[in-house]
Chain A
């Protein structure tokens, strides 16, 4: 679905401010995967994903979407790519501009040139997806609360019905309830539509609970790209990069250090519960 070959991007090339944002990225993301992208602030996560829908042009290297080389194709293909690969930026509520919520959500579908009834249908669906009340449709997006604005902005991308959905820290700055809700809706969407989802986050907890595989960025390079258990097996490397492993994983690492026969690959509370139940059934004794 998404493939990159030696993808690199420099900012302010040729000036004293030149910085390497990402370097030599070779990844392959299969169709229908749910990938968590994690890394420190400034590790190149956001730069990387902005390449996937042709918003940033690579300094060198290639990007293939569905086997199509984006930057050797014509402009039309790239515009189409923007609809196929929906990208929700960080703090998307800062992009709202229309007079009403309805108009703002329909901005994308309108750009696609869809007929009015189809736009209407999509706005409706997108609204359901983010869990917003229909009564808000005629309100100004600027009168809404922060959490509601965020949802309207996400709905604006969902209305494109993209084959690949990329979200950059969709839960940043939301309260825990709003966060869980948005993340669970994305998970449902992934299950129902079998679409490819990329979730950028620096919360290991969010990523491990939702994604199938994890892509770890560090200093502009992709240092790991593997299934969730395989990445967490290298928990120490993650800590070395200044990334945190989920709290539950840390608990189980310490349990193992204390000699309890538990699996080291626990990264959700549910798994933790199962592991503990297993241990208790066995008698709950530490090996000496």
Chain B
């Protein structure tokens, strides 16, 4: 069922990672992603991988759940790897076997490099959302972007839109599930036939879904107006964030990792 997708989900908890300031988590995730792209060789991945291991241990979320979330992305990962193998240069790996001549050392190395990079990328960003509730995440984003208000960027509105969008993902997934089941009960078939038939089979799902999304949007707008929402001007916060020892510890760790990677790049 679509409910089982764990990508982007939040798992409530009380771990080290959960207790970190979401602003710091956001910044560090950014650094993490950058460091992944700086990594020059597999030693670099070993360092980032060690950091990832720490994150996994200190988040209290079992790797099993996360790996299940990776499953739907397996296709993209393998697809990327496949093309990296095809376009790699260098010497053939098995020169004595003729039909394997396309399998070249550099291609295989590139492919493996890509697989590790993508997996670490997904893991790192997943753990951000696993340990940070959507509301905290957008809250942190709004605060980090606040300086851009000077350039007339509607930071609060953007953050609010994002909060609402994130808030309604599970609701809409639930709704989709229900509609799929209701149409299945009337004998709708989404699994057989060619691509055109399958695309057409989606109409009985998409139309009710769209209609209910509009209905919800209207209801939400009414509910917000009833509670006197009028944008970000003069709005105060229920939760005030401050950096604590966890955040500085994590920052120090991240800086160490980036430093190590830069050293690897130089030597």
Residues of A within 8 A of B (CB): 11-12, 14-17, 50, 53, 55, 79, 82-83, 86-89, 92, 94-97, 107-108, 111-112, 142, 156-157, 160
Contacts and interface: CB of A to CB of B under 8 A. Distances in A.
Contacts of B64: 14
B179 A156 contact: no
Contacts of A89: 178, 181-182, 185
A79 B187 contact: yes
A106 B61 CA distance: 48
A15 B6 contact: yes
B68 interface: yes
Identify the 10 closest CB pairs spanning chains A and B, nearest first: A111-B187, A95-B182, A108-B186, A97-B207, A87-B185, A97-B204, A89-B182, A55-B181, A16-B11, A97-B208
Nearest to B178: A89
Contacts of A17: 11
Given A16-B11, A89-B181, A95-B182, A82 B208 contact: no
Interface in B186-224: 186-189, 203-204, 207-208, 211-212
Contacts of B181: 50, 55, 89
Nearest to A162: B185
B246 interface: no
B184 interface: yes
B189 A160 contact: no
Nearest to B187: A111
Nearest to A91: B178
A157 B187 contact: no
Given A16-B61, A89-B185, A156-B186, A94 B208 contact: yes
Contacts of B185: 53, 55, 82, 86-89, 157
B68 A95 contact: no
Contacts of A157: 185-186
Interface of B: 3-4, 6, 11, 13, 61, 64-65, 68, 175, 178-179, 181-189, 203-204, 207-208, 211-212
Contacts of B204: 95, 97, 107
20 contacts: A12-B3, A12-B4, A14-B64, A15-B11, A53-B185, A55-B181, A82-B185, A82-B187, A89-B178, A89-B181, A94-B175, A94-B178, A95-B183, A97-B204, A107-B186, A108-B186, A111-B189, A156-B186, A160-B186, A160-B187
Contacts of A142: 211
B6 to A, nearest CB: 7
Contacts of B61: 16
B182 A94 contact: yes
Nearest to A153: B182
B184 A95 contact: no
Contacts of B187: 79, 82-83, 108, 111-112, 160
B189 A94 contact: no
A87 B186 CA distance: 8
Contacts of B4: 12, 15
A95 B187 CA distance: 13
Contacts of A96: 208
A56 to B, nearest CB: 8
A50 B68 CA distance: 25
A142 B208 CA distance: 10
Residue from A16, A55, A96, A107 having most chain B Cβ neighbours under 10 A? A16
Contacts of B189: 79, 111
Contact of A82 (B3, B184, B203, B211): B184
A111 B203 contact: no
A129 to B, nearest CB: 16
Given A15-B65, A82-B187, A97-B203, 12 more contacts: A14-B65, A15-B6, A16-B61, A82-B186, A92-B182, A94-B179, A96-B208, A97-B208, A108-B187, A111-B187, A142-B211, A157-B186
A15 B3 CA distance: 11
Contacts of A94: 175, 178-179, 182, 208, 212
A16 B184 contact: no
Contacts of B188: 107, 111
A12 B30 CA distance: 30
B170 to A, nearest CB: 11
B108 to A, nearest CB: 33
A198 to B, nearest CB: 13
Nearest to B201: A111
A95 B208 contact: yes
Contacts of A83: 187
A32 B42 CA distance: 68
A88 B182 CA distance: 8
Contacts of B184: 55, 82
Contacts of A82: 184-187
